[in-house]
Amino acid sequence: MAATPATNTDTPVLILGGGLMGLAIAHALARGGRAVEVLSRRRSEAAGFVAAGMLAPHAEGLSGALLQLGQRSLERIPGWVAQIEADSGLSCGLRPCGIVVPFATAAERDVYPTAPWGEALDRDGLERELPGIGPGWQAGLLFRQDGQIDNRRQLMRALERACVELGVRFQEGVEVLELLHNNHQLTGVRVRDAAAHVETLQTEAAVLCSGAWSAQLLPELPVFPVKGQMLSLQGPREALQRVIFGPGTYLVPREDGLLVVGATSEREAGFTEGLTPFGQRQLQAGIEALLPEASQWPPMERWWGFRPCTPDEGPLLGASPLNGLQLAAGHHRNGVLLAAITAELLSANLSPEGCNPDQQALLELFRWDRFGG
């Protein structure tokens, strides 16, 4: 079904952040007929442009409520992607290729948190699934249900186009300086544009999805940055068919042979930008251990970004300390995986009907204040 532009002329819902989460929510709201305006300081810094695009609730070894949320989102991704592709006319690069997690021993494999959802592999099985895998791995788990999406080159562009086709408005180069409120009711946001002009935008409905920077607007939120460095190599087409999710390093093969390699996890770096020799050596060591032949493939790109993390590495979804302000922040390593379910939950929560009981139960698991005092 082709995109139908929103017809709601009421005051738009303001989306504070133009990364993957902001675009996904804007798209869902616009499909529901809401007027939407996205405020974005610099979309290139968003985690959605940086991440490798794994859809891996099982390979990541998630557990508890976060596994439940991830599995729910994984189920929705094919339909979500199909809708974005229909609205945009562009491919999102979804690839249900399966992911292999290698282990040094079978004992380590068998105690992995999500082992019941995977197929156990011995060394021969590893070599069948991953020709050329390094000699240090003797066992593995194959999660056929996990996969990947080409977020950097395809998904983000398709979402942008879909939003435009649905009438979503964009303000680029706009920094949100302050959330304005009266007796804990959101009344507007103060913003500054690229020319340093400051103005106030009035609204009673907004979604905060500013990634690792979310706590700068709402200090009560327990969101902090975890820096990650990444690189890519150009390998032969079809040299690697499945994602390899190793300890500390993962290899994500695109259909054209590009191999995305990530990622360091630097909790002490704060918002320090740039690549470091130590981080790049760590990635190179991971490549050599997991797929030695790939260490000889020509390098393409090197980049870094900031994951928005919380104390339990789960997102903050739904209600915030301010009435009228919804949260979609703190997705850490799983933003691409969780974009579909986040868009569903937030758009439902902002609809006149509200969430159904099942959706509300999920939101309750990821309240911003779940960490106590």
Q: How many residues in total does the chain contain?
A: 373
- Domain span including residue 262: 95-147+224-309
Check if the beta carbon of residue 39 is closer than 8 Å to that of residue 188.
Answer: no
Choosing from 309, 335, 357, the residue where a domain stops is 309
Contact predicate 290/102, CB 8 Å: yes
Tokens of 136: 């240090």
32 assigned to some structural domain: yes
**Cα(272)–Cα(117) distance, integer angstroms:** 38
Does residue 241 belong to any structural domain of this protein?
yes
Query: Does one domain contain both 236 and 301?
Result: yes
In which element (H, E) is residue 88 found? helix 64-88
For position 72, which CATH number holds? 3.50.50.60
Whole-angstrom Cα distance, residue 175 to residue 156?
20
Residues 131 and 176 in one domain: no
Residues 360 and 321 placed together within one structural domain of the fold:
yes
The answer to whether residue 135 sits within a structural domain is yes
In whole angstroms, give the CA distance from residue 71 to residue 51. Answer: 19
Say which CATH number the domain at 104 has.
3.30.9.10
pLDDT at 127: 98
CA distances from residue 367 to 25, 108, 143, 155, 320 in whole angstroms, order as listed: 18, 33, 30, 28, 8
My answer on whether 256 and 327 are in the same domain is no
Contact 156, 130 (CB under 8 A): no
Residues 179-214 have pLDDT tens digits of 999 999 999 999 999 899 999 999 999 999 999 999
Asked whether residue 57 falls in the same domain as residue 193, the answer is yes
Domain end residue (candidates: 309, 329, 344): 309
Instruction: Note whether residue 18 is domain-resident.
Output: yes
Q: Is residue 28 within 8 Å of residue 346, measured between CB atoms?
A: yes
Cβ atoms of 180 and 190 closer than 8 Å: yes
8 domain-assigned: no
Residue 237 lies inside a defined structural domain of this protein: yes
Q: Tell me, yes or no, whether 199 and 256 share the same domain.
A: no
- Do 303 and 316 lie in one domain? The reply is no
Cis (ω within 30 of 0) for the bond into 35?
Answer: no
User: Is the alpha carbon torsion for 99, 274, 210, 203 positive or negative?
Assistant: negative
Is the domain of 161 the same as that of 73? yes
Q: CB 205: neighbour CB atoms within 10 A?
A: 18
246 & 292 share domain = yes
Structural domains of the chain, count? 2
- Indicate the DSSP class of residue 123: H
> Would residue 1 count as lying in a domain?
no
Give phi and psi for 200, each to the nearest 5: -110, 130
Of 82, 79, 338, 118, nearest to 245 by C-alpha is: 118
8 A C-beta contact, residue 223 and residue 308? yes
The answer on 357 and 324 residing in a single domain is: yes
Claim to verify: residue 129 and residue 55 sit in the same structural domain:
no
270: alpha, beta or left? (left if phi > 0; alpha if psi -120 to 50):
left
Per-residue pLDDT for the chain (373 aa), expressed as one digit of tens each?
445 444 444 689 999 999 999 999 999 999 999 999 999 987 666 666 788 999 999 999 999 999 999 999 999 999 999 999 999 999 999 999 999 999 999 999 999 999 999 999 999 999 999 999 999 999 999 999 999 999 999 999 999 999 999 999 999 999 999 999 999 999 999 999 989 999 999 999 999 999 999 999 999 999 999 999 999 999 999 899 999 999 999 999 999 999 999 999 999 999 999 999 999 999 999 999 999 999 999 999 999 999 999 999 999 999 999 999 999 999 999 999 999 999 999 999 999 999 999 999 999 999 999 997 6
For residues 141 and 160, membership in a common domain is answered with no
371 in a structural domain: no
